[in-house]
Structure formats: C-alpha cells, structure tokens
Amino acid sequence: MSDAPQIRVAADGEPLRLMAVHAHPDDESSKGAATMAKYVAEGVQVLVVTATGGERGDILNPAMDTPENQATIPALRQAEMAKAREILGVQQVWLGYVDSGLPEGDPLPPLPEGCFALGDVEEESSALARIIRSFRPHVLLTYDEFGGYPHPDHIRTHEISMRGIEIAADPSAPASLGEPWQVLKVYYHQNFHRARAVALDAVMHDQGLESPYRERLASWPEDPAQAARLTTFIPAADYFEARDDALRAHATQVDPNAFWFAVPLALQRKAWPTEDFQLVESHVPSTLPEDDLFAGIPTRTVDKVDAWYYTI
C-alpha cells in the first residue's frame, strides 16, 4: 500500500482545477489567496488570470515611493506578481490589457484611451474564453457585478468573466478558441463583509487592542441583501500567513504597517477562520451553506500527482 499523500481528483481521474480571474497584480493576494493556497496544498491545479499589468497603480507603500520606482512600475508589478504566485503555489497568466486607473474628481475624468475598461467586451471575453477552454477549470472565482468596489477594471473583469464562461461553453463559438468547456461552478468573492468586520473588531476589543474596524463600522449599516450573498465559507485559517506573505510581496501596493496586517493572525483565526464566497452558478447539485468550492462535483482520492505547469 502506498504511503504517498492522498489528494482529491475529479471522478474521471483528472486533477481538480480552479481558476481565479483578477483585474490587477495584487488582487489575487487580497481576495481568496488563503483559499487558493489551501487548494494547492490539497493537489488542486490553481490558475490566476490577471487582466492588466497594473501600470496605473499608485505606489501605496511609503518605503517604496521613490523616483526610480515611479519610473519602473510596470516591471516592478510583474516582479511582485512572480513572488506572490510562488508564495501561493499558483500558476498565473496575463490577459495583456492596460490598467484603466481609478478616476477621481467631480466630475470624473474620462478613462484613458486604449485601457481595459474601454475595450471591446466581446473581444476581451473571447480572450478569456480561450484560456478557460485551454485550462478547463471546474470552478471559477471572479468579482460580483459591483466589482467588489467600483473600480472600472474590476467591473470589466466581472463582465468578461461571466461572458467568457458563456463563450467557453458554447459549441457554436469559434473553434479557434479550443474545445468547448463548461465551468461547473462560479463564485463571487465576498470576504469583505460586515459580519466579518464585526467579529474582528470584537476580538480586538476583547484583547484590549485598537481595532482598525471601529471607525469603519460606525458608518457601515446592516445590509441583509449583502449578508444573503454569503453562501460558501472555506476554512482557510491555516493559510492566512501565506496570504499575508503574498500581499507583502506586492511591496509597491501594500504597506506592511497598514490596515491589512492590523489584526494579529491568531486573533483572525479565532474570530473568523474562513474566506467567504457567493455561489452564483452551479451545474452540479449544491446544498447551502458550503465549506468546499468543489462540493457537488464527483471526486475520488489518489496518490499525490506530479507537479504541473500551465502554458497557453
């Protein structure tokens, strides 16, 4: 009898595959990173698709805000992404679009010509569909219709994710995109919600520590509609450290002394040990609430498979 670690695969013996579609480098580390690291450890093949290079992102870490870094942001963000994907154990590909930036002001200025959010939705969705058909994910993670927050690239990522899933499954779509593939389950990230903030705030208060959520909660009303979106709670506390390390790898974007790291990991694990999602599409039987993104998909266990590497 083999003493090799057992992992779960699809019933047909194929590896389980998870795709996460994100707008910018660093989004994969702030949304669902612990969940991805957990599934990687369990033998799941995880592919991050990054729509843009994050070229228009500001440097948000004061220690990195130098003229030299300002002049080399595109290259820096690619290097940061390489470090983060290594920490999480995921593979990653770029869709190749240009960051739209976050418009500010009243009235808002127009988006820059040639950016992702002004591109042709059908063309961008087809580019994603090609990757879906090639990778053949059982499960896909993306943003909700609000983008998680109203950044134009996040909203566009939602749009091309949902349309790309349709194109990938459509047998009448161009054969040049590859063989049709039906994603079995689709989820929206929902980790930034009030109940989690309340729990983290309470545990900080109980420990006599200053909570980074106190001021935010004062102007954050109860929202039953948002709470109703929470369907799936992935126990990922063992991978919160990997999530934080991946976040810190995006050094131009993440200040190591800022909000993200204000609650000690031990308290996070105690107060809210899951990452949370909304199941929005399923082609397999689903019983809510869930604690597994692959719930309902027939699986079996096998000896640990060899390492893999995805290429387009």
- The per-residue pLDDT for 5 is 65
Domains in the chain, ordered, with CATH? Answer: 6-193+231-303 (3.40.50.10320), 194-228 (no CATH)
Q: What is the pLDDT of residues 278-292, one digit of tens each?
A: 999 999 999 999 999
What is the CB neighbour count within 10 angstroms for residue 105? 6
**What average pLDDT does the structure give for the chain?**
95
Q: What is the pLDDT of residues 63-73, one digit of tens each?
A: 999 999 899 99
- The per-residue pLDDT for 45 is 97
Q: Check whether 24 is labelled as a binding-site residue.
A: yes
Q: Is the pLDDT assigned to residue 263 strictly greater than 50?
A: yes
CA distances from 293 to 149, 271, 304 (A): 23, 22, 20
Coil/strand/helix, residue 9: strand
- Residue 65 corresponds to which tokens in the numbers above? 């805000």
What's at 21, amino acid-wise?
Answer: V
- The per-residue pLDDT for 4 is 55
Residue that the structure tokens 């308290």 belong to? 267
Residue that the structure tokens 């220690």 belong to? 63
Q: Check whether 154 is labelled as a binding-site residue.
A: yes
How far is it, in rounded angstroms, from Cα 51 to Cα 65? 24
Predicted TM-score (pTM) of the model is 0.96
Cβ-proximal residues to 32 (8 Å cutoff; 6+ apart), any chain = 20, 141, 189, 191, 275, 277
Give the residue-averaged pLDDT of 118-141.
98
- The per-residue pLDDT for 208 is 97
